[in-house]
Amino acid sequence: MSFRAVIFDLDGVITDTAHLHYQAWKETAAAIGITIDPSFNARLKGISRMASLALILRHGGKERAFDEAERARLAARKNARYGELLASLDSRAILPGIPALLDALAQHGIAVGLASVSLNAPFILDALGLRARFDYCVDASLLRHSKPDPEIFLTACAGLGVAPEQAIGIEDAQAGIDAINASGMRSVGIGHDLQGAGLLLPDTGALSWRCLQDFWSTPPRVDAPVN
């Protein structure tokens, strides 16, 4: 099949607000007597807000201490604080290689989608000045399943009008790579220690149109069967 679309994750691929998420979660957790550190925070990478809160409550031994309404209030508190921290975000926060890649994709008629579980994704794209560069952005509020379920990437493909087999997904989290692979797309991983990525790059600076072209022209890897 022909190469027709690239679907990006947002945080860690287009921009990096992980440190802002950590600060907001750390303050929210501290308010209910739970301490989290950067090591624990790494477990929250690539999963939804409510799933992150559930992990924090379990980590602090308080998963039965808050009902659904109270959890919603905690999540809202975290998001409000995160919104405050995002106030200074602008185009300088776009990661290396991304502007040139978006330019090249547009020049070659490749559709561009966003598959982020962040409910703040539209605001972040606006702040970065990139909203118009995306042909379709998944509305995370309408999803029933979070990564590593492939729903978000299948939704992005449907929104772009392409088959998963015609698209490349780019992620920096293991849950995201697993979701891309489960969708039938070809996966590009950004960073280290990601398992199963069809192509693994050290950072976004290594991303380019030529890089994706070469990746697409290479037959997909077939893992050897386990005996």
Residues classed as catalytic: 9, 11
pLDDT at site 119: 85
**pLDDT per residue as tens, the chain (227 positions):** 899 999 999 999 999 888 898 999 999 999 999 999 999 998 888 788 999 999 999 999 999 999 999 999 999 999 999 889 888 889 999 999 999 999 999 999 999 999 998 888 998 999 999 999 999 999 999 999 989 999 999 999 999 999 999 999 999 999 999 999 999 999 999 998 899 999 999 999 999 999 999 999 988 765 544 44
Q: Is residue 9 a contact partner of residue 185, using CB atoms and an 8 Å limit?
A: no
Structure tokens at 16: 């990096």
Coil vs helix vs strand at 120: coil
Measured CA to CA, the distance from residue 76 to residue 167 in angstroms comes to 34
CA dihedral 161, 167, 171, 173 (to 10 degrees): 90
pLDDT at site 227: 41
Measured CA to CA, the distance from residue 178 to residue 163 in angstroms comes to 18
